[in-house]
Amino acid sequence: MIVIEAARAKTLPAASALGKRDLNRFLACATEALGLTGEFSVLLTGDERLRALNLQFRGKDKATDVLSFPALPQAANGGQGGDLAISLETASVQSAAYGHTLQMEVKILILHGLLHLAGYDHERDQGQMRRRETRLRKQFALPAGLVERSKVERSEVERSKAADHEQPRPRPRARKP
pLDDT, mean of residues 56-62: 94
pLDDT at 151 over 60: no
Burial class for 132, CB neighbours closer than 10 Å (0-12, 13-18, 19+): buried
Does some domain include residue 31? yes
Does some domain include residue 162? no
Cα(first)–Cα(last) distance of the chain, in Å?
79
Look up the pTM and report it. Answer: 0.78
Does some domain include residue 159? no
Q: What is the span of the domain harbouring residue 42?
A: 2-120
Residue 53 binned pLDDT confidence (cut-offs 50, 70, 90): very high
Q: Which domain CATH number covers 6?
A: 3.40.390.30
Residue 26 binned pLDDT confidence (cut-offs 50, 70, 90): very high
60 φ/ψ angles, rounded to the nearest 5 degrees: -110, 115
Instruction: Give the β-pairing of 80-87 and 39-45.
Output: parallel
Does some domain include residue 65? yes
Residue 127 binned pLDDT confidence (cut-offs 50, 70, 90): confident
Question: CA geometry: angle at 99 spanning 95 and 103, to 5°?
Answer: 45
Does some domain include residue 141? no
Q: Are 68 and 55 in contact (CB under 8 A)?
A: no
Q: How many domains does the chain have?
A: 1
The residues, any chain, with a CB within 8 Å of residue 53's CB and separated by 6 or more, are 67, 85
| Dist. CA 7–CA 135, nearest whole Å | 35
Residue 99 Ramachandran class (φ > 0 left, ψ -120 to 50 alpha, else beta): left
| Dist. CA 124–CA 41, nearest whole Å | 25
Residue 55 binned pLDDT confidence (cut-offs 50, 70, 90): very high
pLDDT at 174 over 90: no
pLDDT at 113 over 70: yes
Look at residue 8 in the predicted model and tell me its pLDDT.
Answer: 60
Q: Which of 44, 6, 37, 47 is nearest to 23 (CA)?
A: 44
Does some domain include residue 154? no
pLDDT at 51 over 70: yes
pLDDT, mean of residues 101-113: 94
Does some domain include residue 98? yes
The DSSP output letter for 68 is E
